Chains A and B, each alone.
Chain A
Amino acid sequence: MPLTRRTFLTGTASLAAVAANPRATLAATIPAPRPNGGRKWRIGYAESMPFGNYVATLHGVALALGRMGWLSGVADAPYTPGQWDSADLWRWLAGRDLGPHVEFVADAYYPRLDRNAPDEALNRLATARDIDLMIVMGTIAGTKLATDTHTVPTLVFSSTNPVAAKIVASESDPGREHVWAHLDLTRFHRQLRIFHDTFRFQRLGVAYDDSTVGRAIASLSDIEAMAERLGFALVRRHVRPPADEADFPRYYADLGTAWTELSGEVDAMYITYGRWELDRFRPLVQPFLDRRIPTFSQLGPEEVERGALMSVARADFAGIGQFGAGTIARLFGGERLRGLPQVYFDTPTIAWNIATAETIGHRIPFDALLAADTVFGGT
């Protein structure tokens, strides 16, 4: 059997983590599955909102736990790439006997913490003591559940910048015994460097929610650092996120105004994470196409497919799934959560939209076209 990227990832805990953290050695192999005293390890789940990356990460973690022997029969878990709703997957995981070691607790599922208060979850974690581990997706959910009101191990994934969001203290130390977050703090540095290398812009547009969480989601500190390092100016617009479902029209209107204004003021646009639905993305980005402004999606290929010019983002969720599952296994194996590595570099994928390039009059270099993993907009 060839040694491919997938088999390589399966064969080691996480080489990237090792590379990033010299203390984590290859000898730190995944421990064999073991019971939690006389019962199974019980896992709960919380997320900020419905989002494709959350479901994909949860699915990746479950599959990797299966490969490590902590779960059985999980390979058939229902998941469609691009799927936003995690409820179906959670129901499937919780509704089956996945072996003697781990169970997903059906009622320990806490969605939409962007709108819902975390009190129920926090109370349960603080008092019931029937959950051994919380998997938490997103910055908002992370800030709400990674607190000192409980001591249940809490693993936060898919947070743009958990340090800026104060979920963890730093890359090397979460700051608390029971909190851990996946970190890849150079991801957006890489994105901006590549974008700047390609277009050498002087004025970069950026729109974001000017709150602590909003700035953390946009990873504004990284953007500002790169602006200073590479010598370009930031042209900012603040857009308040929707408070609820009824607030979305206002949100789209504000966003449309902000982006239209920016399209007349900047050389390039860095589209940070936002709350828009992907179907609404194309008309929102159109002003940049009209004014021939290159756009870079912080999110990834999903937005490139819908009209952003380019992105360099996470390729798939096999790597992060393996890394997260390895962390869970080592925690269940008896290791101290605070001592486990948090840094994992997601493997990037390069995406271009050739139709957008043509629209804005940019000729993608031949080498870049060949190196791209995904090219959208072709005939």
Chain B
Amino acid sequence: MPTSNQPVSPNPDRRGLWPAFLLSVALVVLTLGFSAGINIGSFRQSYANALMSSFSVAGGKAARSVEHALAYGKVLEDFYGIEKILAQVRTHLPEADGVQLARADGRILYSDLKTPQANSAQTLPEAERRRAAAELAKRPIHVSYDVDGGKYRLHMAIRQPGSGTLAGHLVIISDKAVVDGQVARFQERIVTALAALGGASVLLFGGFLLAAGLWGRGPAATDKRRRRLTLGVLATAQILAGVLSYQHFTAAYIETAEVSTKVVGDIVHGDFETALSRGASYRSLSGLDAYFAQIAATVPHIRTLTLDTTGAPPEPPQNPTLAEGRDFDISHPLPADPSGRAPALTITIAGEHITAQLREIVLDMATILVTSLMFMFEFYAFTATFSAGRATEAAGEGSAVAAMRFTTFLLYLGAFLPVSFVPLVMGTFSEGLFGLTPMQAAAAPISMEMLCGAVMLLIAGRLVRAAGWVPLALAGFGLAGAGMALSAWAGEPLAFVLARGLVGLGVMGTLAALYGLIDRLRDPESRTAAYPQMFAGMYAGVNCGAVVGALLAGRIGYPPVFLIAGAILAAGIAQAWLFVPASVKTRPAPIPALTPMPAKARGPGVWRPSVVAFLLLISIPTSACSMFLPYFFPLFASGLGVSPSTIGRAFLLNGMCIVFLGPVLARLARTHVAPWLAVLGSGLLIAGALILFGVQASLLVAFLAVFLIGVGDSFGLASQQQYAETLVGEAADSRAAVRAWHLNARKIGQVVGPMLFSAAAAVSVAGVGILGTGLILSLAAFTAMALFTVRRPAPAVAS
């Protein structure tokens, strides 16, 4: 029974082994290439951030020196002695290109860069200034990468004493070469390992082919083993890449932490040297605790700095290392004062911080690994299904579902490639958008995309009926691809917003068309099973797109990522055209998809009170509450100061629930539970998640809430659709219409959700719990209605 993407028994003869072998090799090459690329990209990004953090030790010290002088009445515009402060940064960071000091409005006041021409810049690029100012309001440093110049730019805030307002930026500029060396070592290691693994895989496949040829095993058994072998090789490769990545990054992190520890020692040594050269003695110094605390605050892995005045010799060396993740002291000699007194600086390393960082690395690597596995699995499932042809009608429907899942994957892979930076693009334009504030302008492209998507959903049913699902799917891919290309070339904000609207139209057009494809499946079981497959492909695409897009954007800039997204969407046209079985493409629809609302297509059952109540009590509230993840969680987590990668992991967690749990839970719900009960269970999970968070708001609980919502949505999305259809009986038009209403109601929920969360959060995080309680009330009303409806089954209305 082909209920999922499980490949159907292939029946190949031995002549089919060669193409299968080549397909397996191609799959290995593709996924190993993806794995290497994503790991190298991730390593580059993470290492660059760690390195810039270590640079921020010296930069932060300089920024605090400037702030201290501002308190004495100095002004940035005419800062006596600034050259000395900047020169100290250069001394501590010889590998950096240099340092600049700019006013908060972006005007560069002082510039000390290795390349003389670089000093001629008068202002910071406006987009960079705006973004840095926004980021520095939330965290101590901001790192940007200038793609054109190949420079990393580390921004640190200089704040006005007293008011704390941003007075200026200290910017440390480094060539990408400071990162390239370490990345090249990692690249060489991982590429060598993966190439070796790839070679071994080819040999394995070759041996397998040879064995199959010699001993003539049964074709079905042979194909099954080949597929298992392929999957095993691919998974091993991904895991090996993850392990290598972890080892290398751990070593690189420890190295940067050691460097920053040494820089701290050097800075303190230099400062004491300065003070002593001015006639001070250790006995005459005061305020050292505050000085040490300020420095330690810039280096999280340093717990304390103390002056050991006992004169006792340092403890016998035990050669502890940061990698051990435990507290230990490092003694650093200090210069002698005029009386010959020379205490030592004791740097106490905070072991738990190192441990926490190493744990973060594990989680980051796990994120990358899971993303790689998702990518691999989508390609594997697709190629496995199509590697052996299809003979039967049922097999054709199975391959149609597999093709639909892969099409959805491609659609969302392309659509979500730029998702991490679409709002940021608005900040790159020199002109504004109709006088909107930067925050409002940043939301405009997303709003336009959603609005156009909603409009497309409204008219998609009519389009599918008029032209068929295939033209709409292809046109949708085309529109979205064109929108991406225009996004890349847009030179002004309005053009960009309109381009995003085109993307919204295209993506939703294709999605609606894929619903149309599902409608053409004759086997009801296949049809019902297709939804979880679609959602699985959707979330795999979302996760892979978001992760890969963010990595690519950091490396090649925004416009090329838009173009790559456009290319992926264009590839979707070929995929949808070539791989969806012809029988499904040309088959007339037994159930017209996404029928428009009014007139006769509305169907007699759509306006039933039970349908309206379902939309009001379930479709809108659950989708609104599900906006906890995309809207509320990033704001909450960002407010706690957690890294973007941690926020990304929440999306991944949610996606994994949909991708991996979705098909299983949906099947179980379909076969063992009444639809209304599945809807209720899904809603209770979402409501419980919000109430739990409202009662005990923390990052851990937020993750738990994300998980629960993910589990709820994993089977709830399909269950809601299934239940909605039962409300209007078997009438084809009515079922299509109610599905369209349901989808649009969910869209409304997605629009309302952020407003509800922002209003609730204005009270406190407990407001999120109130939303959960509200959903409970909705569910209670729904339950009453469902029980009533069960007793009065819907009459069948012929279409």
Instruction: Count chain A residues whose beta carbon lies closer than 8 angstroms to a beta carbon of B.
Output: 43
Q: Which of the residues B72, B75, B109, B274 comes within 8 Å of A350, measured between beta carbons?
A: B72
**Interface of B: prevailing SS:** mixed
User: What sequence of 0s and 1s flags, for each residue 272-305 of chain B, a beta carbon within 8 Å of any chain A beta carbon?
Assistant: 0011011110001111101100100000000000
Q: List chain B residues, Cβ under 8 A from A370.
A: 65, 68, 271, 274-275
Residue of B nearest to A16 (CB): B77
Q: List chain A residues, Cβ under 8 A from B100.
A: 3
Q: List chain B residues, Cβ under 8 A from A377.
A: 279
**Does A117 lie at the interface of the complex (its beta carbon under 8 Å from any beta carbon of B)?**
no
Q: List chain B residues, Cβ under 8 A from A19.
A: 75, 77
User: What sequence of 0s and 1s flags, for each residue 59-89 of chain B, a beta carbon within 8 Å of any chain A beta carbon?
Assistant: 0000001001101111101111111000000
Closest Cβ–Cβ distance, residue A314 to chain B (whole Å): 9
Complex-state Cα separation, A376 to B450, whole angstroms = 67
Complex-state Cα separation, A200 to B83, whole angstroms = 32
Q: Is the CB of B279 within 8 A of A3?
A: no
User: What sequence of 0s and 1s flags, for each residue 332-358 of chain A, a beta carbon within 8 Å of any chain B beta carbon?
Assistant: 000000000000011111100011011
**Does A22 lie at the interface of the complex (its beta carbon under 8 Å from any beta carbon of B)?**
no
User: A5-B110, A350-B72, A367-B287 are contacts. A16–B78 as well, Cβ < 8 Å?
Assistant: yes
Q: Which of the residues B72, B274, B284 comes within 8 Å of A358, measured between beta carbons?
A: B284
Q: Is the CB of B278 within 8 A of A372?
A: yes
**Does A363 lie at the interface of the complex (its beta carbon under 8 Å from any beta carbon of B)?**
yes
Complex-state Cα separation, A364 to B285, whole angstroms = 7
Complex-state Cα separation, A9 to B284, whole angstroms = 38
Residue of B nearest to A11 (CB): B122
Closest Cβ–Cβ distance, residue B76 to chain A (whole Å): 9
Q: Is the CB of B280 within 8 A of A369?
A: yes
Q: Is the CB of A16 within 8 A of B278?
A: no
**Does B116 lie at the interface of the complex (its beta carbon under 8 Å from any beta carbon of A)?**
yes
Q: Which of the residues A319, A365, A372 comes within 8 Å of B287, measured between beta carbons?
A: A365
Complex-state Cα separation, A367 to B116, whole angstroms = 33
Q: Is the CB of A366 within 8 A of B338?
A: no
Q: List chain B residues, Cβ under 8 A from A367.
A: 68, 287, 290-291, 294
Q: Is the CB of A347 within 8 A of B79?
A: yes
Q: List chain A residues, Cβ under 8 A from B113.
A: 2
Complex-state Cα separation, A349 to B80, whole angstroms = 7
Residue of A nearest to B278 (CB): A375
User: A369-B275, A371-B68 are contacts. A2–B80 as well, Cβ < 8 Å?
Assistant: no
Q: List chain A residues, Cβ under 8 A from B275.
A: 366, 369-370
User: What sequence of 0s and 1s flags, for each residue 365-405 of chain B, a beta carbon within 8 Å of any chain A beta carbon?
Assistant: 00000000000000000000000000000000000000000
Q: Which of the residues B75, B110, B119, B279 comes within 8 Å of A347, measured between beta carbons?
A: B75
User: A370-B271, A371-B68 are contacts. A3–B278 as well, Cβ < 8 Å?
Assistant: no
**Does A190 lie at the interface of the complex (its beta carbon under 8 Å from any beta carbon of B)?**
yes
Complex-state Cα separation, A16 to B110, whole angstroms = 15
Q: Which of A19, A345, A371 has the most CB of B within 10 A?
A: A371
Complex-state Cα separation, A176 to B112, whole angstroms = 44
Q: Is the CB of B78 within 8 A of A194?
A: no
Q: Is the CB of B110 within 8 A of A366?
A: no
Q: Is the CB of A364 within 8 A of B78?
A: no
User: A2-B119, A366-B291 are contacts. A194–B278 as well, Cβ < 8 Å?
Assistant: no
User: A2-B111, A369-B275, A371-B65 are contacts. A347–B285 as well, Cβ < 8 Å?
Assistant: no
Q: Is the CB of A363 within 8 A of B284?
A: yes
Q: Is the CB of A8 within 8 A of B116?
A: no
Residue of A nearest to B78 (CB): A347
A residues 1-17 near B (Cβ < 8 Å) are: 1-5, 8-9, 15-16
**Does B108 lie at the interface of the complex (its beta carbon under 8 Å from any beta carbon of A)?**
yes
Residue of A nearest to B287 (CB): A365
Q: List chain B residues, Cβ under 8 A from A283.
A: none
Residue of B nearest to A189 (CB): B73
**Does A120 lie at the interface of the complex (its beta carbon under 8 Å from any beta carbon of B)?**
no
Residue of B nearest to A8 (CB): B109
B residues 576-604 near A (Cβ < 8 Å) are: none
Complex-state Cα separation, A337 to B79, whole angstroms = 28
Residue of B nearest to A373 (CB): B81
Q: Which of the residues A3, A365, A369 comes within 8 Å of B119, measured between beta carbons?
A: A3
Q: List chain B residues, Cβ under 8 A from A3.
A: 100, 108-112, 119-120
Q: Which of B68, B80, B285 has the most CB of A within 10 A?
A: B80
Q: Is the CB of B109 within 8 A of A312?
A: no
**Does A253 lie at the interface of the complex (its beta carbon under 8 Å from any beta carbon of B)?**
no
User: A19-B77, A347-B80, A363-B285 are contacts. A2–B68 as well, Cβ < 8 Å?
Assistant: no
Q: List chain B residues, Cβ under 8 A from A194.
A: 71-73
Complex-state Cα separation, A15 to B271, whole angstroms = 32
Q: Is the CB of B72 within 8 A of A312?
A: yes
**Given A15-B109, A378-B278, 18 more pairs with CB closer than 8 A:** A1-B119, A2-B111, A4-B110, A8-B78, A8-B109, A16-B78, A187-B73, A347-B78, A348-B74, A349-B80, A354-B280, A364-B280, A366-B285, A366-B287, A369-B278, A370-B271, A371-B65, A371-B68
| Nearest 4 pairs of A and B residues by beta carbon | A378-B279, A315-B80, A365-B287, A363-B286
6 A-B pairs in the complex with CB atoms less than 8 angstroms apart: A16-B77, A19-B75, A348-B73, A367-B290, A368-B287, A369-B280
List residues of chain B with CB under 8 Å of any chain A CB: 65, 68-69, 71-75, 77-83, 100, 107-113, 116, 119-120, 271, 274-275, 277-280, 284-288, 290-291, 294, 338
List residues of chain A with CB under 8 Å of any chain B CB: 1-5, 8-9, 15-16, 19, 187, 190-191, 194, 312, 315-316, 319, 345-350, 354-355, 357-358, 363-373, 375, 377-379
